[in-house]
A and B are shown apart, each in its own frame.
Chain A
C-alpha cells in the first residue's frame, strides 16, 4: 500500500481549522434568531468571526483540538496495522504544524506525550466495506463538552423516565439542563439507546458524524430527534449559557440491541465546534478526495 500519511495530515488540518458547511450554516441561522444587541447574538457573532478567521489563517478553530477519533472503512485485505501507523504519524506531524494542540496525557505520570499519540490514542475504529476504497471519517471531540456528556440507566425514577422513548426524551433533556453552557453550547447531541456502557458511548459519538440534515430512517426516532431538539431549545440556555433561542443545533439518535437487564441512554455532547471531516482513497485510481 502507498504511504498515505500526508493525506491523513491534510484530513486533520481540514477538520481542525474549518467547520463543516452545515455546522457553520446552522450557526449563522441561529444568530439571526437572537434578539438584536443581545448577549446571545454577540456570542454567535464572535463564533462566526472566529471560524472565518481560523479558516483564512489555517489555525485551529478552538485551542482545544480534542481527541481525534478516526472511523475507517476498508476493503478486504487492506492492512489495518499499516493504516494505524500512517494515522499515528499524521497526528504527530499535525501537532508539529500546530493544527493540533498536544493533548495526549499519561494518566499515571501526568506527562503529555507532546505529539498526540499514546496508549490507545488517537482513537481508531476499523470496519470492512464492499468498495475498493478506504473511507475515513474524523471527529475532533473537545474536552469541555466531553466533561458534560452523560450516561443514564433506565428506569430513572427521579426523572420519571421509564424504558421507552419518552424515558429517553426525559433523560436527554435533563443532560442538556445539567450541561448548561459549560460544554460550549450550542451543542449537537449524539444519543445512543441500548448497548452496554462501553458500546453505548461509542454509538453516541458515531451519531455526531451524521450531517445535521440527515433524517433518521426510523420514523419514530426521527420524530424523537425533532421533539428533543425543539424542547431542548425551549430550555433557553443559549450560546455559552448566556440565555437565548438556540441551545442545541442538532439531535441524532441511534440504537443498539441491549441486555434484558440493562437500558442505557448515552448522550455525547459535542460543542458548537463540531469538527468532522471525511476522506476517500480510491484504491483503483489512487485518487484522494476530501469533504
Chain B
C-alpha cells in the first residue's frame, strides 16, 4: 500500500489563495478525513491529489512517486496516478451498465472481457450488489449507485482511495450504514483513504486522523478523540461536537491550567480550565454540554440558571438553561432530568480556556 505526502501545497486563482501551505504526511493504510466548513478548500486539495487540478505551489507524492511539483515542472496526469475516487455525484456513466461501469478501469488496462466481467461481479459482491451488474445505473437507488461508484473506484485495487463527500446525497440511515461499510472495506483492503466531508460526526466516526481546515489552511490534525478533548483553538472546538463558548477573566494561572471567572452568567461561576492564559486577561472558555453537572445544595462557584427547554433523547436529556443573558446547552443523564422552569446550580467538570488574541478570521 501507499503513503501520501503533501508538501506546502498551494492553489490560488489569480491573487485569491484557495489552499495555502498544506503540509501533511498520510501513512499507508490510514483513514484520514479533511473536515471544514463549505469553501475551505477540501475539494480543491483532494483534486490536486487526484491530478484533476494542478497546484500552483508545493508538491504531491504518492507512494514515494512525485506526481505534482509545479516548481520542477512535474505533473503526472490523473490517469497515471493509479487512484480510486468516488465523486459526490457518483458520476456513473449512464450509457454503460452497472457491470460495464465497474469494469471500465480494467478495460482501459487491456484486461480481457471475461476477466473484467468476473472482477466486476466480484467487486459488486463485495459492496453487496451481487447480480445487479446487468442493470442500468438509473435503475438503482441512490445508496446502490453510491456502492457502484465505490466498486468502480476499488476494482483496480488502488493504493489510495479518494472520497469527496460520498455520503452527502443519502438519507441519514443509509449514511450510517455506508459509513460502516466503507470503514470495513478499508480495513479489509488496507487501502489508504482520504475522505472529504463537512460533517463532523462522519469524520469522527470513521477517521484515524482528522485534518481540520479553515480558509485553505490546516488548523489542527489528530485522532478524533484528541481533537475533541484538546482542540487547538476556538474554531476547532466549535467545529467538532457541541460546545458552549463563554467568556471570562483569568483569576489565577498555573502551568497547565487556569482558574477563570465567567462573565455574563448568573451566580458566581468560577471554573478550572485546561490551558494557560495570563492572569488578569480575558479568555474564551469552551464547555461541552456533557461536562456540566447539576450540583444540588451548593451555591458558591456555580452557575445558576433556569431550565427553558428539555428534550428527551432516550439515553440522555438535552437541556437549555438561561443564565444571565446567555443560554447554555446541557447533556444530562436521563435519570436526572430536571423539569421545565427549575432553577439549577451547575458546575463544569471540564473546560478549556483560550487566550483572546486579536481575533483572527
State yes or no: do A and B come from one complex: no
Q: Footprint of A on B, CB under 8 Å?
A: none
Residues of A within 8 A of B (CB): none
